[in-house]
Chain A
Amino acid sequence: MSDESEIRIDARGSFCPGPMMELIRAIKGAKVGQVVVVLSKDSGSKKDIPMWAQKAGHEFLGAAERDDYAEISVRKSH
């Protein structure tokens, strides 16, 4: 069963803790099935987030390119 509401985090301009840490923080507080969407200008996020999602056993849903940032989505799987 999935929770329809998504958690959106605007991490643009966040150098510390940064988009990836914000994703981990949000995933920890999310319900199973909930989607976390991180807005990030950090180029490393598009590589690091799917890598971490795979290691941690969560579902990487994709990275959508916007004007000068990306929207990166991960579903909490457990």
Chain B
Amino acid sequence: MHKRLLIVGAGTGGLMVANFVARDLYLEIERGDIDVTLLGEQDTYTYQPGFLYVAFDLMRPAQLMRPVRELLAPGVQFIHDRALRIDAGGHQVTRAQGEPLAYDVLVLATGSGLNLEEVPGMGEGAHWFYTLDGALRLRDALRHWQGGRLVLTVGVPHKCPVAPLEFTMMFEEWTRRRGVRNKTEIVYSYPLGRAHSIESVADWAASELEARDVKIETFFNLESVDPEHRVAHALEGTDLSYDLLVAVPAHKGDDLGASSQLAEAGNWYPTDRQSLRLHSQEDIFVLGDATNLPISKAGSVAHFQAEVLADNLVGLLTEGSPPFNHYNGRAFCFIETGLERATFIAFDYDHPPTVPEPTNAVHWFKQTYNRIHWANLKAVM
């Protein structure tokens, strides 16, 4: 019986699911029993964790990008087009440039993007490293940095939860190497009453930042930016003046969820935390940033979810079996603690992380991963 798996989104989660499934079901695909189709608005994949390094002139943009077609396992059909609407009842997805795509099973891996409109003045007054353009603009600002006050703010929600700490610690060491640390004041602000959402990370970070003479401003939710006077305003009433404002903007889900009336506020899909099924839909699954799950929006999460989901999809497509493999909330995040050392945190729904002592070895492990992520995407590693 012919089965059609359609995956929307050719980012980390979408590519990994497509490739894991295609490698397992290669014979079935060859026989024509199963179709694996990947629909992506972009035909170039960009390794987003690399933006942080671009900002500090540690990686070049070309190192972060590969054509999607070079990252596909045999048997995956890629369609370069934008999804417009999911017709869940009709089991099809309409798209911008072609006929609707019918499916038996649908996977949504549409990711998340910046919600710049939420904070008036952010576009004019702030820098960020969450897009390539933003990272290049920040890189230019850093190349001209001779001293002053750098303020970092964090929006809710955002992807890569440790990146604010990474940027701050990398910047601090970077100013020392450039001989401008004594002319630089660094203010790290955070929306909660501590330095990070994870308690063990917050305790560790507070100690690290204090040792580096970085000021911590807690309960700071950025509400607006005054680019003319260079002031960041928090909804809690605090103001922070800046010479350079680096914002981690709040994120939102892709518009597809809203146009399909399947997503909730913020365009996040309501998702079962273990099976990754879209609520109230038997044949639609969600992974990566696009879910509403109270877990990190991070590449590692998409990866671990993709492994679980691929196993379940193979069973569903070949035997009609319900999901038997459960996602346990697993996440893994490297934390650069400067320009030469790094640590990591690993956790799941039942086990909070602890923070090991940073080492040179973990930093180089991260540098290596930055350059071999492609093997991970192709489901080879």
Residues of A within 8 A of B (CB): 7, 9-11, 13-22, 24-26, 28-30, 42, 44, 48, 51-52, 55-57
Contact = CB atoms under 8 A, between A and B. Distances in A.
Contact of B197 (A17, A29, A55): A17
B326 to A, nearest CB: 13
B161 interface: yes
A14 B296 CA distance: 9
A18 B330 CA distance: 14
A11 B296 CA distance: 12
8 contacts: A13-B273, A13-B329, A14-B349, A15-B352, A15-B353, A16-B347, A17-B197, A29-B265
A8 to B, nearest CB: 11
Nearest to A31: B265
A20 B296 contact: no
A11 B191 CA distance: 17
A25 B221 contact: no
Contacts of A16: 161, 197-198, 201, 295-296, 331, 347, 353
A55 B295 contact: no
Contacts of B201: 16
A21 B236 contact: no
B221 A17 contact: no
Contacts of A7: 265
A55 B218 CA distance: 12
Nearest to A39: B294
B334 to A, nearest CB: 14
B33 interface: no
B350 interface: yes
A43 to B, nearest CB: 9
Given A22-B294, A56-B236, A17 B350 contact: no
A52 B156 contact: no
Which of B250, B265, B266 has the most CB atoms of chain A within a 10 A radius of its CB? B265
Given A13-B350, A17-B161, A56-B235, A24 B156 contact: yes
Contacts of A29: 264-266
Given A16-B347, A48-B193, A28 B199 contact: no
Given A9-B294, A14-B294, A48 B192 contact: yes
B358 interface: no
B353 A56 contact: no
A17 B236 contact: no
Contacts of A15: 197-199, 347, 352-353
Which of B157, B192, B201, B264 has the most CB atoms of chain A within a 10 A radius of its CB? B192
Given A16-B198, A21-B157, A29-B266, A10 B192 contact: no
B376 to A, nearest CB: 21
A24 B353 CA distance: 22
Contacts of B331: 16
Interface in B115-163: 118, 156-157, 161
A55 B198 contact: no
Given A9-B294, A16-B197, A24-B156, A52 B219 contact: yes
B157 A17 contact: yes
B219 A18 contact: no
Given A48-B192, A56-B235, 12 more contacts: A13-B350, A16-B197, A16-B296, A17-B161, A17-B294, A18-B192, A19-B294, A21-B156, A21-B157, A21-B191, A25-B157, A52-B236
B98 interface: no
A28 B197 contact: no
A29 B226 CA distance: 24
B238 to A, nearest CB: 9
Nearest to A78: B235
Contacts of B197: 15-18, 20-21
Contacts of B194: 44, 48
A50 to B, nearest CB: 11
